[in-house]
Amino acid sequence: MSRILAFSFVLLLAANALGQKVSASLDRSTTSVGESVGLTINCENFQPRSIPRLQVIPGLRIASAATEQKIQLANGKRTSFIIYNYLITPIKPGTYTLPSVSVNANGRTLRTKPLKLNVLATRQNPPDDNGLSKYAFIRLIPGKTTAYVGEAIPVKIQLFLQNGRYNSPELTAEGFNFADFPKPSSSQAQKGNEIYQVRTFSTAATPVKAGSLQLGPVKLNVVLKIRQQQRRRSPFNDPFDGFFNRYQDVPFNLEAKAQTITVKPLPTTNKPASFYGAVGRYTMQAKASPLEVTVGDPVTVNIQISGQGTIESLNLPKLDWSGFKSYEPSVTTKKDNPLGLRGSRIFEQVVIPESDTIAEMPRIEFSFFDPVTSQYRVLAKGPFPLKVNPSSKPVAPVIGGNTAQETEDPDSPPQTDILTIKHHLGSLGQAMPLIARPNFWLLQSIPLLLWIAALAWRRKTNALANNPGLRRKRQVAERTRAGLAKLTELAKREEAGEFHAELADLLREQIGLRLDIPAEGITADVVHSFAAGNKLGEGTRGDIRKLFAACDRASYAGSQTTGELKSNLALLKEVFSALK
């Protein structure tokens, strides 16, 4: 009995030991001098004897932040976590390697994996940002600056924002194909005494030509919420004055400079004949079944290519084997990350042997260029042994002899229930064939016309979705048409307050579209901005000031006549014509 208890105790300890894990992670792998990064050490299912100690690394200042404890229940299993948080503040730029951390777990030593931290130089504020860059800025971080044609480059765009709203970034670069932006990840960062909300947008840039290419610039529009300075208030003022207006919406255009990417062409030496443009690092698995068939029976060939690269662009050479009839393969793609840079591409193709002399299925090859070793690699599977049995269908014998046409009628068959085939169709044979009728071709053309219309609509929808500027232009045009009709009716009814509110909204939309800034928060002061000075004439800016002044007067002035409202409407139309 004691031996059974001892054995059970050993098994319990072994089960607990197998569930003990330790891991380390950074909330961001790229930062700048003076900008703190969070380091987390996660201990699973054990209590360390002491707080993990990090090695001293020249150029980095490391401080312990906090310790957390969590318990997770899933599928009847209880998992405990002890999380140690550290704050790493770089002092000098460079690439740092954070060594593995040793943690004592009940007499066993567990180690974390080393981590890399890329530290950039201190960001310089633009000279004409009016101090707004301390509230928000962006950063463009390519995964590498040297690549080959067809090699996917991970790209990150980091938005640092204290308080406000933001749009999706616009990344432009000639000579690159981009993956769609997935949902951005969120984290926090501290720089000096300022706390920023960090939104990280990820994509993949694939160069399509060689040379020194520019990746970027990146543009992003935000609306900052900036706390207003409170002026001294008189005791006779409204006690709630300024209570609800402590923050002001300020539009701000962010931009990150372009990065130079050196793109090298693929080498032409030792290029295999089976190379079809795949760049990355891959493995291949292949199988065929069944391996014993009859002439004319199908054999399914399954080929799976897995690895790292542009998975969706992988193609397999056609299996045009002699002695086999092949069909188009079905393709399935499995992505292991949102950008599609890791995963599998599965090809399933059916081939049919046409002769019983075939003894094997030929070798299958897949070639790719490895950017790490700068060499071509050929993956091969097979040949596969195949046994093809003769077909069991009987073959009609060919009887020689006199082939002259018989002139006499053959004897009638002995069975009275079998009728001879009529070779003359009578009136049915005189009917027009279906293929010669115009209505037949008219009906056949309907699916083609529907397909062409759907294709045109799809292209128009994609072009609109990929062009934020065009989409905004159409939205503003539709809003303007409806707003001008509404202003005409309000002017007839002499509703001055609602008229000027609608007029101000339409004016902001048109100015925002012309200057490429958010419409929210635009006031008469926009005419003094640098962008307005370059894009708008002096007369147009003066008319804009008049319209905003009229809207301000309408908030406290009395009712206005229909003539005055129509005059403001005519001036608004003149401004719209000038903005176009």
Q: Tell me: pLDDT of 229 over 70.
A: no
CA-nearest of 121, 102, 127, 122 to 112 is 102
| Average pLDDT for the chain | 82
Q: Specify the pLDDT at position 114.
A: 92
CATH of 275-389 given 2.60.40.10, 3.30.1330.90, 3.40.50.11860, 3.40.640.10: 2.60.40.10
| Percentage with pLDDT > 70 across the chain | 84
Report the phi/psi class of residue 401: left, alpha or beta, with left for phi > 0 and alpha for psi in -120 to 50.
left
Residue 327 confidence (pLDDT)? 85
pLDDT at 570 over 80: yes
The 10s digit of each residue's pLDDT in 237-289 is 555 545 455 778 889 999 999 999 999 999 999 899 888 889 999 999 999 99
Confidence band for 303, pLDDT divided at 50, 70 and 90? very high
More confident residue, 398 or 379: 379
Over 50: is that where the pLDDT of 14 sits?
no
Alpha-carbon distance of 380 to 368, in angstroms, equals 12
Which residues are registered as beta bridge partners of 303? 286, 347
**Three-state secondary-structure class, residue 261:** strand
Q: Which of 503, 153, 505, 481 is nearest to 341 (CA)?
A: 153
The more confidently predicted of residues 317 and 579 is 579
pLDDT at 6: 52
Q: How many CA atoms lie within 13 A of 54 on its CB side?
A: 24
Q: In which band, very low, low, confident or very high, does the pLDDT at 417 lie, cut at 50, 70 and 90?
A: low
For 39-86, the pLDDT digits (tens) are 999 999 888 888 888 888 988 988 887 788 888 887 778 888 889 989
The token pair at 494 is 């002499």
Residue range 19-120, CATH number = 2.60.40.10
Structure tokens that stand for 423 in this block = 């070779």
pLDDT at 317 over 80: no
Tell me, what's the pLDDT at 557? 61
How do residues 25-34 score in pLDDT, each as one tens digit? 988 888 888 8
Q: Answer whether residue 123 shows pLDDT above 80.
A: no
How much is the pLDDT for 261?
Answer: 95
Do residues 329 and 349 make contact, with C-beta atoms less than 8 angstroms apart? yes
Residues 428-449, mean pLDDT to the nearest whole number: 76
pLDDT tens track for 478-511: 888 898 898 888 888 888 888 888 888 888 888 8
Chosen CATH of 132-229+241-264 out of 2.60.40, 1.10.3470, 2.40.10, 2.20.25: 2.60.40
* pLDDT of amino acid 204: 92
Q: Inter-axis angle of helices 496-515 and 562-579, to 10 degrees?
A: 10
Dihedral sign of CA atoms 400, 405, 411, 412 in order: positive
